[in-house]
Structure 1
Amino acid sequence: MSHPAAIAPVLPAESRPGVESSPTDEPRPAAEPSPAAELNASPIRSRRGDTQRALWILCTLASLLAIYVAAPILLPVLIGGFLALLLNPLVRWLSAHLLPRWIAAMLVLGCVMGGLGLGASALSGPAIEAIEASPRVIQELQRRVQRMAQPLLSAGKFDEAMTAFDTLGGPPSPRPVTVTENRSSLGDRFGGVIALAASIGTALVLVYLFLVYGELLLRRVVTIAPTLRDKRNAVEIVRSIQSDISRYVVTVTMINLALGATIAGVLYLLGVREPLLWGAMTALLNFAPYIGPLLGAMVLLAVGILQFDTPGAALLPVAAYLGLNAIESELVTPLVLGRSFALNPVVILLWLLLWGWLWGALGMLLAMPMLVCAKIICSRYESLRAWSLMIER
């Protein structure tokens, strides 16, 4: 007779022979990566970082190429935008007190263009004469420099030092002349003038449209921001750009006009011919810091040598210009603009060289407002705050 098998009770792990118990309430520690896994992951991270750097370089080069190619489109837009920022305070005041905004914008733009036209017509004659007389002026400048420097240098050393300068005003070497039939079309002859007129007309139309519809456009940009935080940042950036860029453009323009008028008055007292032309030139060049004053000093040095016979009198115009420019750049501009627009001189010089290389003289004139705008935008975002600190002095 068979008996049912007895069921043995299940013993806990603590009472089982040869089995050690482990508490269930303590988490098991995570396994540390082995040195072999670390060695395998390091080349992968290195290749990923190299790929990202290569992509950034390619994107930067592609952006520079796009900016260079799109200059005929971007330049009128930027010029129109900054001129609108310059004139917007006056248009806003007129539209708030006297006139509708579109009439105020038309009136202000018409007055500005009329004033610029009168100034250009007054200065165009001396400017054209100076350009047409440039070959003769170079020869005269060479002769006067040689005569003034003869008492200071020996004849042999002076001749060696002036060899390169002698070639500027000397007669060109004879070359064979080939007569060809001119079959250029009307576009080839006047293409540059037509393109310049189209750019100026486009910029004027954009100035008017920015003055009338610019604030509405900026409000619409704020409304399309996805989140409340993005809307707040957009509002702050728009207000900062409107106020700070307007203040910067207006202040710098007034300072440069005052500097040009002061230099013109000093040159008139010194007996320099066409002082208004040189004053307008220095006011325009002063929009490009460091490089503009350097070019202005070189021009006034040549003017002094051409118009005066003694070295002391020849150096007076450039000395007066450098002194007034130093007072403006080191005392007046920092005092008026304040700390918020104090920018790093190295960054300014590199920025000017970059935009001068891309867009020429207009790029150098627009470089500083663009740099101030970039500083405002970078200071509003935490991820770009390092770039804002790098731009500051």
Structure 2
Amino acid sequence: MRILPNDRGSGRETAGTPLPEGKGEQPPVIRRAELVAFALLALLVISVVAVLYVAKAFFLPVVAAFIVGTMLSPAAGLLERHRIPRAVSAVMIVAAVGAGATFMIGLISSPLMEWSRHLPELGAQLKEKLHVFDRPLALWQELQNMLGVSDTLPAASFQLPKIDWVQPALEFLSPTFTEFLLFIATLILFIASWRDLRRALIMTFGDHDARLRMLRILNAIEGQLGGYLLTVTMINFGVGAATGLVCAIAGMPNPAGLGALAATLNFFPIIGPVAMFVILVAVGVVAYPTISAGLIAPLAFIGITFLEGHFVTPTIIGRRLELNALAVFIALAFWTWLWGPMGGFLSSPLLIVGLILKEYLLPVDDPQLP
């Protein structure tokens, strides 16, 4: 009797029979060790943020001195090559930067003090100019009444905010004397001893490859931050000069102070230009007899910031280091929340340092798409 081989024995699979799933096709399983490691990392990040927030009076001046000192170190090296001792170079550089900052603060504070003395008169003028919005506000109130909304806009006249906000604002914007003294002392000592600190950081590692990697990291941080400060300062001064020129042509009061304010606020990405536009609108509405005339300088400022943000800055800075707009905004919001206005100034340099460390310490290959 002959036995015919069946389908299974012949190696053929019948139609409709499911194939066994391979081991490699199973979905990834989150292991307990990975979950514990993620939880510990999250706790570490929360602890570090909490310490930085609570000890702001110490960490903010020190970190600011390290970042600004790294930016100014190339200038100290240039003076040192001209046979000027590094300690003397550090004092000279800090004094020059302080003089420039004092000059900018003087340009800004002069019109601010003048406007603060005439605050009631400016409030009355602003109240008269805002009468143009009475009709739209009345229509909005009628619409809310038709919809049955109880929280209608109050019919009270425009009231100028009280002066109580000035002192809290100054306390928020200006550091204490102790923080300022700590910043200046740390900055001078950091610039004066940066070369020895570099050598100590490099020689900390015993392996040759580790030393070479640390040297590359320090060179990249110093080069990128130094170039960033020089480039951004030149761009912001250009924005300030253009804004002051536009304000002078448009007949705005104190165009030099407005230009200095525009240059200063432009160091804070995204938020600074928006705040400057609001200030120009407020000054223009008060200074001109009509609202349309007061919007000339703000609209021109929008054109200046558009050209700077879409053509000048990407062309100059984007060639050396690309910064994602979302990453810049998140870093700005986080550091401003953590350390106030100075944290907002340090947000982009700290983001640059983080990207450099990620590039050298966590190199990854480009993923191969299926």
Task: Sort the TM-score into its range (normalised by shorter chain).
Answer: 0.7 to 0.9
Are 1:315 and 2:303 an aligned pair? no
Q: Which whole-Å CA distance do the structure 2 matches of 1:210 and 1:318 have between them?
A: 41
Q: Which residue of 2 aligns with 1:267?
A: 247
Check if 1:227 corresponds to 2:207.
yes
Q: Could you say what the CA RMSD is over the residues aligned between the two structures, in angstroms?
A: 3.0
Task: Tell me which of 81, 95, 105 is aligned to 1:96.
Answer: 81
Measured against aligned partners, the alpha-carbon deviations of 1:105-144 in whole angstroms (never above 9, x if no partner) come to 2223223323333443343232223345556645543431
CA contact (8 A) 1:268 1:275 kept: yes
Q: Does 1:341 align with 2:321?
A: yes
Partners of 2:39 and 2:52 in 1: how far apart?
20
Does the Cα contact within 8 Å between 2:239 and 2:305 map onto a contact in 1? Answer: yes
Q: What is the aligned length?
A: 323
Provide, for residues 1-29 of structure 1, a one-character-per-residue CA deviation record: whole Å limited to 9, x for no partner. xxxxxxxxxxxxxxxxxxxxxxxxxxxxx
Q: Secondary structure of the equivalent of 1:169?
A: coil
Number of the residue aligned with 1:169:
159
Name the amino acid aligned to 2:277: A
Task: Report which structure shows greater RCO (CA 8 Å, sep ≥6).
Answer: 2
Match of 2:269, SS state, is coil
> Post-superposition shift, 1:340?
3.1
Pick from 155, 178, 188 the counterpart of residue 208 of structure 1.
188
What fraction of aligned residue pairs are identical, expressed as a percent?
25
Farther off after superposition, 314-323 or 332-341: 332-341
Classify 1:67/1:144 alpha carbon distance in 2 versus 1 (closer, same or farther; 3 Å).
Answer: same
Asked if structure 2 preserves the Cα contact closer than 8 Å seen for 1:85 and 1:242, the reply is: yes
Give unmatched runs, 5+ long, in structure 2: 1-27, 145-151, 163-170
Q: 1-side partners of 2:103 and 2:195: how far apart?
A: 31
The 1-side partners of 2:109 and 2:362 are apart by 49
Equivalent AA in structure 2 for residue 156 of structure 1: A
Cα gap change, 1:207 to 1:171, in 2 (>3 Å): closer
User: TM-score, normalized by length of structure 2?
Assistant: 0.78
Q: Is the 8 A contact 1:379 1:385 kept in 2?
A: no
Correspondence 1:379 to 2:367: no
Going from structure 1 to structure 2, the CA distance change for 1:146 and 1:167 (only over 3 Å counts) comes to: closer
How far, CA to CA, are the matches of 1:192 and 1:305 in structure 2? 27
Q: 1:195 to 1:329 in 2, by over 3 A?
A: closer
* SS class of match (2:340): helix
- The residue identity in structure 1 corresponding to 2:126 is L
Deviates more, 1:230-239 or 1:304-313: 304-313
For 1:74-153, list aligned pairs within 5 A.
74-131=59-116, 133-134=118-119, 137-138=122-123, 140-147=125-132, 149=133, 153=135
Alpha carbons 1:355, 1:363 under 8 Å: kept: yes
In the superposition, relative to structure 1, how do residues 302 and 193 fare at CA in structure 2: closer, same or farther (>3 Å)? closer
Measure, in 2, the Cα distance between the counterparts of 1:164 and 1:331: 45
One of 121, 131, 138 as aligned partner of 1:156? 138
Residues 348 and 338 of structure 1, relative CA distance in 2, 3 Å threshold: closer
TM-score, normalised to structure 1, is: 0.74
Gaps of 5+ in 1: 1-41, 173-190, 387-393
Q: 2:39 aligns with which of 49, 54, 58?
A: 54
Tell me the secondary structure at the aligned position of residue 356 of structure 2.
helix
Distance 2:172 2:331 in 1: 28
Measured at CA, do residues 310 and 210 of structure 1 come closer, stay the same or move farther in structure 2, by a change above 3 Å?
same
84-93 or 226-235, which deviates more:
84-93
Q: What is residue 352 of structure 1 aligned with on the other side?
A: 332
Distance across 2 between alignment mates of 1:362 and 1:71 = 11
How do residues 185-204 of structure 1 correspond to structure 2 at under 5 angstroms? 196-204=176-184
SS of 1:163 mapped into structure 2 = coil
